[in-house]
Protein backbone atom coordinates (compact mmCIF):
# COMPACT_ATOMS: atom_id res chain seq x y z
CA UNK A 1 0.00 0.00 0.00
CA UNK A 2 1.15 3.53 -0.77
CA UNK A 3 0.90 6.29 1.80
CA UNK A 4 0.12 9.84 0.71
CA UNK A 5 0.44 13.17 2.44
CA UNK A 6 -2.77 15.08 3.12
CA UNK A 7 -2.05 17.46 0.22
CA UNK A 8 -1.30 14.56 -2.13
CA UNK A 9 -4.58 12.99 -1.01
CA UNK A 10 -6.40 16.22 -1.93
CA UNK A 11 -4.68 16.45 -5.31
CA UNK A 12 -5.40 12.84 -6.28
CA UNK A 13 -9.06 13.23 -5.28
CA UNK A 14 -9.36 16.41 -7.38
CA UNK A 15 -7.82 14.62 -10.36
CA UNK A 16 -10.22 11.70 -9.87
CA UNK A 17 -13.26 13.96 -9.61
CA UNK A 18 -12.23 15.86 -12.74
CA UNK A 19 -11.79 12.61 -14.66
CA UNK A 20 -15.25 11.47 -13.53
CA UNK A 21 -16.92 14.77 -14.42
CA UNK A 22 -15.03 15.84 -17.54
CA UNK A 23 -13.70 12.57 -18.90
CA UNK A 24 -10.09 13.75 -18.71
CA UNK A 25 -7.61 14.78 -16.03
CA UNK A 26 -7.12 18.48 -15.22
CA UNK A 27 -4.19 20.44 -16.62
CA UNK A 28 -1.38 21.54 -14.33
CA UNK A 29 -2.75 25.10 -14.53
CA UNK A 30 -6.16 23.88 -13.42
CA UNK A 31 -4.63 21.99 -10.50
CA UNK A 32 -2.61 25.06 -9.50
CA UNK A 33 -5.68 27.31 -9.75
CA UNK A 34 -7.89 24.92 -7.76
CA UNK A 35 -5.43 24.72 -4.85
CA UNK A 36 -4.22 28.33 -5.23
CA UNK A 37 -0.63 27.26 -5.69
CA UNK A 38 1.74 30.14 -6.39
CA UNK A 39 3.04 28.51 -9.54
CA UNK A 40 2.30 25.76 -12.03
CA UNK A 41 5.57 24.17 -10.94
CA UNK A 42 4.04 23.40 -7.51
CA UNK A 43 1.27 21.44 -9.27
CA UNK A 44 3.87 19.68 -11.43
CA UNK A 45 5.87 18.72 -8.34
CA UNK A 46 2.78 17.14 -6.72
CA UNK A 47 1.97 15.23 -9.90
CA UNK A 48 5.59 14.02 -10.15
CA UNK A 49 5.49 12.82 -6.52
CA UNK A 50 2.24 10.95 -7.17
CA UNK A 51 3.82 9.32 -10.22
CA UNK A 52 6.78 8.19 -8.12
CA UNK A 53 4.42 6.67 -5.56
CA UNK A 54 2.70 4.74 -8.32
CA UNK A 55 -0.79 6.23 -7.97
CA UNK A 56 -0.67 8.28 -11.19
CA UNK A 57 0.25 7.02 -14.64
CA UNK A 58 0.15 8.26 -18.21
CA UNK A 59 2.38 9.79 -20.88
CA UNK A 60 4.90 12.35 -19.59
CA UNK A 61 4.08 16.05 -20.13
CA UNK A 62 0.47 15.22 -20.98
CA UNK A 63 -1.55 16.04 -17.89
CA UNK A 64 -4.88 15.50 -19.65
CA UNK A 65 -3.91 11.86 -20.24
CA UNK A 66 -3.17 11.11 -16.59
CA UNK A 67 -5.02 8.22 -15.01
CA UNK A 68 -5.25 7.14 -11.39
CA UNK A 69 -3.78 3.78 -10.45
CA UNK A 70 -4.43 2.57 -6.93
CA UNK A 71 -3.54 -0.39 -4.71
CA UNK A 72 -6.69 -2.10 -6.01
CA UNK A 73 -5.79 -1.44 -9.66
CA UNK A 74 -6.95 1.22 -12.10
CA UNK A 75 -9.26 3.70 -10.34
CA UNK A 76 -11.75 3.96 -13.19
CA UNK A 77 -11.86 0.19 -13.62
CA UNK A 78 -12.42 -0.29 -9.89
CA UNK A 79 -15.32 2.17 -9.91
CA UNK A 80 -16.78 0.52 -13.01
CA UNK A 81 -16.73 -2.78 -11.15
CA UNK A 82 -18.68 -1.18 -8.31
CA UNK A 83 -15.85 -1.22 -5.79
CA UNK A 84 -16.05 1.26 -2.94
CA UNK A 85 -12.73 2.94 -2.39
CA UNK A 86 -11.59 5.03 0.56
CA UNK A 87 -8.40 6.50 1.96
CA UNK A 88 -7.64 6.17 5.65
CA UNK A 89 -5.23 8.41 7.56
CA UNK A 90 -2.09 6.65 8.80
CA UNK A 91 -1.00 8.06 12.15
CA UNK A 92 2.54 6.72 12.38
CA UNK A 93 3.55 3.47 14.05
CA UNK A 94 2.57 1.56 17.16
CA UNK A 95 4.75 -0.92 19.07
CA UNK A 96 3.56 -4.52 19.19
CA UNK A 97 6.11 -5.34 21.82
CA UNK A 98 6.89 -3.48 25.01
CA UNK A 99 4.93 -0.28 25.48
CA UNK A 100 6.79 2.82 24.36
CA UNK A 101 6.51 6.51 25.13
CA UNK A 102 5.87 8.20 21.78
CA UNK A 103 3.64 10.67 20.01
CA UNK A 104 1.66 9.71 16.93
CA UNK A 105 1.87 12.01 13.92
CA UNK A 106 -0.04 11.80 10.68
CA UNK A 107 2.15 10.21 7.98
CA UNK A 108 -0.32 10.31 5.12
CA UNK A 109 -3.10 8.04 3.88
CA UNK A 110 -3.58 4.49 2.68
CA UNK A 111 -6.04 3.52 -0.05
CA UNK A 112 -8.35 0.55 0.64
CA UNK A 113 -11.10 -1.38 -1.11
CA UNK A 114 -13.89 -1.30 1.47
CA UNK A 115 -15.63 -4.42 0.17
CA UNK A 116 -12.42 -6.44 0.37
CA UNK A 117 -11.57 -5.13 3.83
CA UNK A 118 -15.17 -5.53 5.02
CA UNK A 119 -15.48 -2.32 7.02
CA UNK A 120 -17.58 0.82 7.02
CA UNK A 121 -15.16 3.64 7.81
CA UNK A 122 -16.20 6.73 9.75
CA UNK A 123 -14.34 10.00 10.40
CA UNK A 124 -12.87 8.17 13.42
CA UNK A 125 -11.33 5.33 11.41
CA UNK A 126 -7.56 5.41 11.09
CA UNK A 127 -4.54 3.14 10.61
CA UNK A 128 -1.25 2.53 12.41
CA UNK A 129 1.81 0.61 11.24
CA UNK A 130 2.83 -2.26 13.52
CA UNK A 131 6.33 -2.50 14.91
CA UNK A 132 7.27 -5.67 16.80
CA UNK A 133 6.17 -9.28 17.26
CA UNK A 134 4.05 -9.38 20.42
CA UNK A 135 0.82 -9.98 18.43
CA UNK A 136 1.93 -12.84 16.18
CA UNK A 137 -0.58 -15.14 17.89
CA UNK A 138 -3.30 -13.04 16.27
CA UNK A 139 -1.47 -13.12 12.92
CA UNK A 140 -0.41 -9.47 13.26
CA UNK A 141 3.21 -9.05 12.22
CA UNK A 142 5.80 -6.32 11.93
CA UNK A 143 4.99 -3.97 9.04
CA UNK A 144 1.24 -4.66 8.98
CA UNK A 145 -1.23 -1.78 9.06
CA UNK A 146 -3.94 -2.18 11.68
CA UNK A 147 -7.18 -0.35 10.97
CA UNK A 148 -8.76 1.02 14.14
CA UNK A 149 -11.97 2.74 15.17
CA UNK A 150 -11.59 5.50 17.74
CA UNK A 151 -14.40 5.77 20.28
CA UNK A 152 -15.60 2.17 19.92
CA UNK A 153 -16.15 0.39 23.24
CA UNK A 154 -13.69 -2.52 23.53
CA UNK A 155 -14.89 -6.00 24.40
CA UNK A 156 -12.96 -8.85 25.98
CA UNK A 157 -10.64 -10.28 23.31
CA UNK A 158 -10.58 -7.22 21.05
CA UNK A 159 -7.23 -6.02 19.72
CA UNK A 160 -6.74 -2.42 20.78
CA UNK A 161 -4.33 0.46 20.44
CA UNK A 162 -3.95 1.77 23.97
CA UNK A 163 -2.13 4.19 26.22
CA UNK A 164 -1.15 2.39 29.38
CA UNK A 165 0.37 4.74 31.95
CA UNK A 166 1.06 7.17 29.07
CA UNK A 167 2.87 4.60 26.93
CA UNK A 168 1.40 3.33 23.65
CA UNK A 169 1.05 -0.29 22.59
CA UNK A 170 -1.04 -2.72 20.53
CA UNK A 171 -2.41 -5.62 22.57
CA UNK A 172 -5.48 -7.77 23.27
CA UNK A 173 -7.96 -6.18 25.67
CA UNK A 174 -8.70 -8.44 28.66
CA UNK A 175 -11.72 -7.81 30.87
CA UNK A 176 -12.22 -10.53 33.48
CA UNK A 177 -15.08 -10.47 35.94
CA UNK A 178 -14.21 -8.74 39.18
CA UNK A 179 -10.83 -7.52 37.94
CA UNK A 180 -9.68 -4.26 36.33
CA UNK A 181 -8.98 -4.50 32.58
CA UNK A 182 -5.46 -5.24 31.37
CA UNK A 183 -3.62 -5.85 28.12
CA UNK A 184 -2.39 -9.23 26.88
CA UNK A 185 0.35 -9.94 24.38
CA UNK A 186 -0.20 -12.76 21.88
CA UNK A 187 3.38 -13.96 22.18
CA UNK A 188 4.57 -15.87 25.27
CA UNK A 189 7.78 -13.82 25.31
CA UNK A 190 5.85 -10.79 26.58
CA UNK A 191 4.03 -10.32 29.91
CA UNK A 192 0.55 -9.01 30.54
CA UNK A 193 0.39 -5.28 31.07
CA UNK A 194 -1.51 -4.11 34.14
CA UNK A 195 -2.01 -0.35 34.45
CA UNK A 196 -0.55 1.26 37.53
CA UNK A 197 -2.51 4.43 36.87
CA UNK A 198 -4.46 4.91 33.65
CA UNK A 199 -5.50 2.75 30.70
CA UNK A 200 -6.88 4.68 27.72
CA UNK A 201 -8.18 2.86 24.64
CA UNK A 202 -7.28 4.86 21.54
CA UNK A 203 -8.90 2.53 19.04
CA UNK A 204 -10.37 -0.93 18.53
CA UNK A 205 -9.05 -2.96 15.60
CA UNK A 206 -11.58 -3.47 12.80
CA UNK A 207 -9.29 -4.55 9.96
CA UNK A 208 -5.78 -5.54 8.93
CA UNK A 209 -3.76 -4.60 5.85
CA UNK A 210 -0.67 -6.61 4.99
CA UNK A 211 1.99 -5.06 2.78
CA UNK A 212 3.52 -7.75 0.61
CA UNK A 213 7.29 -7.51 0.32
CA UNK A 214 8.64 -8.17 -3.15
List C-alpha distances in Å: 52 to 2, 25, 211.
10, 18, 18
The residue annotated as part of the active site, out of 2, 53, 171, 211, is 171
Instruction: Report the DSSP pairing between strands 167-174 and 159-164.
Output: antiparallel
Does 134 participate in catalysis according to the annotation? yes
Does 41 participate in catalysis according to the annotation? no
- Can you tell me whether residue 156 is helix, strand or coil? coil
The residue annotated as part of the active site, out of 2, 53, 134, 213, is 134
Degrees (nearest 5) of the Cα angle 72, 66, 30?
Answer: 120
Instruction: State how far the Cα of 79 lies from the Cα of 159, in Å rounded to an integer.
Output: 32
Instruction: State how far the Cα of 48 lies from the Cα of 80, in Å rounded to an integer.
Output: 26
CB-based contact 84:99 (threshold 8 Å): no
Give the residue numbers annotated as catalytic, written as ranges: 134, 171
Amino acid sequence: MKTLTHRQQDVIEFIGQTIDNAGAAPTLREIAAHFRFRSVKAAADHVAALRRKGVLAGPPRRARALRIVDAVGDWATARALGRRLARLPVYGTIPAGLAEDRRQEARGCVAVDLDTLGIRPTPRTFALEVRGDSMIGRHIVDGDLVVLEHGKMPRHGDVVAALIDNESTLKTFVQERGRPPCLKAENPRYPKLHPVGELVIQGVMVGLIRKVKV
